[in-house]
Amino acid sequence: MECDAKLLDRVPTGKPPFSLGDIKKAVPKHCFQRSLLRSSAYLLVDLLGVAILFYLTRFVEIVAPPGIFQWMLWGAYWIAQGCVATGLWVIAHECGHRAFSDYAGVDNAVGFVIHSCLLVPFFSWKYSHARHHANNGSIHRDEVFVPKEKDGLSALTPFLQHTPGRIFSILFMLTLGWPSYLLLNVSGRKYPRLASHFDPNSPIFNRREKLQIVASDLGLLAVSAGLIYLGWSAGFVWLLKVYGVPLMIVNAWLVTITYLQHTHVALPHYADSEWDWIRGALVTVDRDYGILNTIFHHITDTHVVHHFFSSMPHYHAQEATAAVRSVLGRYYLCDKTPVLVAIWREYKDCVFVEPDAAGEGIMWYKNSLTS
């Protein structure tokens, strides 16, 4: 992946000289075709990877005597299983976008099972995520990692700008960020009352979606009951080793990927007076995760095109990205900064958003509390 943008340059904010139709014309037609067979093959490869890694845990305590080497083997398992299961998460994410197949029932069934097994309320997340795609870049209507305006900052912000506070914030995001978002809508859109992905009456959802929110909750209850039974039968320490820790790594990757896709000092955010869908869709950045791009099914390095064509399957996204870059020009942002460096930098530089001049509807990330 080549990235031409100068990382400190702001992307343009004027009305783009291209339309959605222009972008679509640049993409080969076959990129919009979904294949149930091909999508299922990717799913089976991921499931096979999870199964093989799980099977290998049977030998960890046989191969290595208790001690540091045994813990190193467990650590290798946790990292590998967490990464492979993140790929499974991405496939379920595609099901939520109707990118897995041409059959809505198949997509919902596959996504529901996978996400439930990863303790994600499938339909609840599907609907809130669709609203994120519909309102990306809007300072008031986006659904995830919505930046704060300066007057909405917490009293703790000055502390969180220093190294210990920044470390605390990053660790919180990586460990509790995802469950906090699902349960309490932390970092999400402001609603007039408590918003939770587990509440059928949450303001996130409309009346027609209530029954599916209940179905999501029932799926989680069923999986949770199964996990409790497994823990009771085989031991909760064993369950934590083979399932709990890899799941925490999945959650850490999920929030890392999402945060870095939508947080960059070169990206604007828009008030209602300026926002439109195309400029909003451009408020995202492609990142390079090396070999993990493949394991994560390229949700990392093709996210810009994903925001334009969310029902496009991942196995066409690289070709589509290459095709649209010449159309998007300077509106396209790609950053090859190593992931850990990028997290640290964005937490340092992207503290809040405000316009360059009072009354403007285009807001930029800033970090100085004294100006």
Domain-located, residue 140: yes
Look up residue 17 and give its DSSP letter.
Answer: S
pLDDT at 370 over 80: no
Domain-located, residue 235: yes
- Angle at which helices 104-117 and 68-96 pack, to 10 degrees? 150
Domain-located, residue 88: yes
Question: Where is average pLDDT lowest: 173-177, 234-238, 338-342, 367-371?
Answer: 367-371
Q: According to the model, what pLDDT value does residue 371 have?
A: 58
Mean pLDDT of the region 136-165: 90
d(CA 246, CA 233): 20
Domain-located, residue 204: yes
Within 10 Å of residue 51's Cβ, how many Cβ atoms? 11
pLDDT at 154 over 90: no
pTM (two decimals): 0.94
Q: According to the model, what pLDDT value does residue 343 have?
A: 97
Of residues 242 and 9, more confidently modeled: 242
Domain-located, residue 12: no
- The total number of structural domains that make up the chain: 1
Q: How confident is the prediction for the chain on average, in pLDDT? A: 94
Whether 42 and 297 have beta carbons less than 8 Å apart is answered as: yes
Domain-located, residue 53: yes
pLDDT at 156 over 90: no
d(CA 253, CA 87): 10
Q: According to the model, what pLDDT value does residue 7 have?
A: 53
Whether 82 and 250 have beta carbons less than 8 Å apart is answered as: yes
For 319-360, the pLDDT digits (tens) are 999 999 999 999 999 999 999 999 999 999 999 999 988 778
Q: Which of 190, 184, 181, 182 is nearest to 148 (CA)?
A: 190
Q: Which residues contact 242 (CB under 8 A, 6 or more apart)?
A: 54, 57
pLDDT at 236 over 70: yes
| Residue 246 belongs to domain spanning | 20-366
d(CA 188, CA 190): 7
Domain-located, residue 41: yes
Per-residue pLDDT band at 55 (split at 50, 70, 90): very high
Domain-located, residue 255: yes
Maximum distance among all Cα pairs of the chain, rounded to whole angstroms? 67
